[in-house]
Structure 1
Amino acid sequence: MKKIAIIAEGFGGSTTSLIESFLKNGYQIDFYHIARRNNYSGSYETFDYTCTSRVGELKRIESFDFKGLRRFKDFAHKELFSMYHMIALSIKTKGIKQIFNPISKFFCKKLVNQIISKNYDFINVIGQSWTTAYISKQLHDRRMNIAHSLHEVCSNHLEGNKLDPVCVFLINEKIKINVFSEKSACDLTKLSPQKGLQYSIIPFSLFTGYLEYKDIVIPELFGVEDYILFYGFLKEYKGLDVLYKASQHLNKKIVIAGGGYVHVLDDMKKDNRFIVINRWLQNAEISTLIRHCHVVVCPYYSSSQTGITQTVFCFNKPIIATRVPAFITSIDNQKTGILVDIGDDKQLTNAINQTFTDKSLYDLMCKNIKKIKERKDDLWKKIVIMYVNEYLK
């Protein structure tokens, strides 16, 4: 039986679903979960657990009786799955906090030594930070079979003209990179400072961890149902200004949910068409919000890949999104959602209204999404096969 280590900082939705599929397809997995600090809420993307530890301490998770992790209980009982938690100080490349880098690197080397001692057949490091990049370099220097997965390769995907420094570092160190979309691969090859770039394109599918979460009461909703939903961390590139213009011609409640700030948010808070939940969302809140909405909207100006589609489709809900790479590759227009032109508030208005007035279209989209959800294990199995063909042959 092949044994794999997955080391990840963030991106729990795609990572834990990948782990689940590897396990279902006969592989043994050790999951090393890296956090920046103790998370006293106990909530990470698609899974919860409470674990407090000292900086640099590698702590084994003994119980999987937590939402989002219960899917791993049987595998852990059969000694096919183990999970470890570590608080890692960030490695800095500038500023006064660089004085802590020797401590950070010391703990990373301890982790690397433990990983090497276990003789894994393949190691996948997932993360955008210098900490994860340093771990990858240490493993690569010790001749481990490793790939580093990046969710974004550009410093600013809206501009798309410069690679992220961590990405450049991995390229210069000749560490093989995995990206999750053709758009990221295109940016990577176009902007790479090196020829003979080593990379793979292996996507992800549905974020199955959210399915373990039942409904909870969200006070801000006041019992509202069948609303238009925008959720996620609020950033200017996500086109909330376009949604606000579109709202002038809509007569349904619009829920804006997530932490962060954009300039149009102040206007939305004053507008009774909107319900604004401006805070970080826990997993149960995300599941509840999607389950009770009518449609999810993503009027983005730019995006190379996204977890929105893979989350929303778990709940059989269609998405209205702009024609950016993240959505034109994951949404089948008029079949699992509706695609509109970037920045076009009139098209957005018409598409939203169509989901309420054209019941046959709405039902068709929901039905098609349900079929995708029913095939989630097969879709993830194909992804596992791609990893095996690339890294385990």
Structure 2
Amino acid sequence: MEIDNTVTIFDPLSIDGLSGYTAGLCEGLYNNGKKVDLICNKNYPFSSDNYVIKRFFFNYTQNFKKSKIRTYLRGLEYFYNWIKVLLYLYEKKPSTLHIIWLLHYRIDRFFLKILQLFFNKIVIVYTAHNVIPHNATPIQIKHLKQIYSKFDTIIVHGTYLKKKLLEIFPRIDNSNIIISKHGIKKELKNEEGSIDISIKEFLSQKNKKIVLFLGLLNYNKGVDLLYKQWIHLKKDNVLLVIAGQKNSAYRELANIEHQISSDKTVLYLPKYLTNIEVSYLFKNCHCVLLPYRHGSVSGVLFDASFHKKPTFSTNFGAIRDYIIDNKTGFVSFKGSEGIKELLRIINDLSINDLENMGKNAFVHFKENYDWDNICQKLLPYYK
């Protein structure tokens, strides 16, 4: 099979806040002289004249309400979308396929095997954002063991993640794993939309320091731990925003949700947020807090730096590779006491201190996590 010197990016999960990595990668590869095709989700929020965008994934079920029927139909659609991907690869014959996310390991194993058998001239690169899924089951790890064997190159975002990958899957060739940093976010184009008056009123309180937690509300993100420390350490001049879609299985949060909702020092937004709402929250906070129990690297960190906000985080995954203590934020290594330490540091800093740290974060990320530089270092791993 003759191949074309094109990198095809495969990202079925390319929606809203999860799409920044993909958009930056596509633009960075283009700026380094690569032809780029992106196969993505129907709700991919960017447009570009620099690369081809094919919205193959989940044109029917993406916006369905969560239910058992949706899960079943989504699996069928994912299988059908994979067939479309194979047909596209057969037609276009790219030199490299770079996979950003895999969503259904049983199905993925099947199609990766087909790729290995019938598309063996295509180099396959995989970005392992998470070495294993949060709360991974034994069957998922078994599938991943097979899946990881199909890739020519595996990308992780930090030294800790490479070590963890080799610990869990010791048969992976160490030379196939490379560390490539996550890049600073790509700005969305201006969107139409409005901000609820209650959000505006809360964030416009004079002389108040605004601390933001943004992201999916699930057990690994530690929001319940955050609030339990907040009620003991909160001050009159400090306000907390907790925003993001809630996982219905997050019992620890559900048990204290009524308390959070009635707390006048907290703006609680357990819902899907539009891009314009996300940008508004970042622009009007003074710092970002990541109280995670577990994780790899948070995309919120890059959004925060783009908006010139410092990030204060518990120690998880590769986060320590990205934050400079007392300059761009702070990482606590105190385990369960970490959130308490972070809140005390934030309480002691002035708004001016936080603004200066945010400016430092922007410069640091711009200089060290620029997509053009990241992609230039990836070129040797593409055909």
| TM-score computed with the length of structure 2 as normaliser | 0.79
Cα deviation, residue 184, structure 1? 2.4
2:112 and 2:150 in contact (8 A); partners too? no
Structure 1 segments unaligned to the other structure (5+ residues): 36-41, 48-67, 76-80
2:8 and 2:36 in contact (8 A); partners too? yes
Q: Give the 3 Å change call, closer, same or farther, for CA 332–208 of structure 1 in structure 2.
A: same
Match of 2:341, SS state, is helix
Counterpart of 2:53 in structure 1 is 83
Counterpart of 1:6 in structure 2 is 9
Q: Say if 2:264 is the partner of 1:272.
A: yes
Aligned mates of 2:304, 2:189 — CA distance in 1: 11
1:256 and 1:276 in contact (8 A); partners too? yes
Alignment of 1:13-92 (within 5 A): 13-34=20-41, 42=43, 44=44, 47=45, 68-69=46-47, 72-73=48-49, 75=50, 81-88=51-58
Match of 1:343, SS state, is helix
Match of 1:385, SS state, is helix
1:216 and 1:288 in contact (8 A); partners too? no
Question: What is the identity, as a one-letter code, of the residue corresponding to 1:170?
Answer: I
Aligned mates of 1:102, 1:307 — CA distance in 2: 29
Q: Give the 3 Å change call, closer, same or farther, for CA 106–208 of structure 1 in structure 2.
A: closer
Counterpart of 2:379 in structure 1 is 388
**More RCO (CA 8 Å, sep 6+):** 2
Question: What is the identity, as a one-letter code, of the residue corresponding to 2:276?
Answer: A
1:161 and 1:191 in contact (8 A); partners too? no
Aligned mates of 1:201, 1:215 — CA distance in 2: 38
Q: Say if 2:217 is the partner of 1:240.
A: no
Cα deviation, residue 238, structure 1? 1.7
Cα deviation, residue 231, structure 1? 0.8
How many residues align? The count is: 347
Counterpart of 1:177 in structure 2 is 154
Q: Say if 2:329 is the partner of 1:337.
A: yes
Query: What do residues 251-276 of structure 1 show as CA deviations (whole Å, max 9, x unaligned)?
Result: 22211111115233332112111111
Question: What is the identity, as a one-letter code, of the residue corresponding to 1:230?
Answer: F
Aligned mates of 1:134, 1:231 — CA distance in 2: 36
Q: Say if 2:342 is the partner of 1:348.
A: yes
Query: What do residues 163-203 of structure 1 show as CA deviations (whole Å, max 9, x unaligned)?
Result: 73442221344654322332322221111163536333222
Aligned mates of 1:300, 1:103 — CA distance in 2: 33
1:16 and 1:209 in contact (8 A); partners too? no
2:134 and 2:295 in contact (8 A); partners too? no
Query: What do residues 48-97 of structure 1 show as CA deviations (whole Å, max 9, x unaligned)?
Result: xxxxxxxxxxxxxxxxxxxx42xx23x3xxxxx2111113599xxxx998
Cα deviation, residue 102, structure 1? 8.0
1:31 and 1:84 in contact (8 A); partners too? yes
2:100 and 2:128 in contact (8 A); partners too? yes
Aligned mates of 1:201, 1:176 — CA distance in 2: 10
Q: Which moved more, 1:341-350 or 1:114-123?
A: 341-350
Aligned mates of 2:310, 2:320 — CA distance in 1: 14
Cα deviation, residue 214, structure 1? 8.3
Counterpart of 1:63 in structure 2 is none
Match of 1:164, SS state, is helix
Structure 2 segments unaligned to the other structure (5+ residues): 62-67, 248-252
Q: Which moved more, 1:26-35 or 1:274-283?
A: 26-35
| Runs (4+) off by over 6 Å | 95-103, 159-163
Match of 1:209, SS state, is coil
Match of 1:186, SS state, is helix
Question: Which of 180, 187, 191 is 1:202 aligned to?
Answer: 180
Match of 1:253, SS state, is strand
Q: RMSD of the alignment, in Å?
A: 3.2
Q: Say if 2:347 is the partner of 1:371.
A: no
| TM-score computed with the length of structure 1 as normaliser | 0.78
Match of 2:93, SS state, is coil
Among all aligned residue pairs of Structure 1 and Structure 2, give the percentage whose two residues are the same amino acid: 20
Aligned mates of 1:389, 1:350 — CA distance in 2: 45
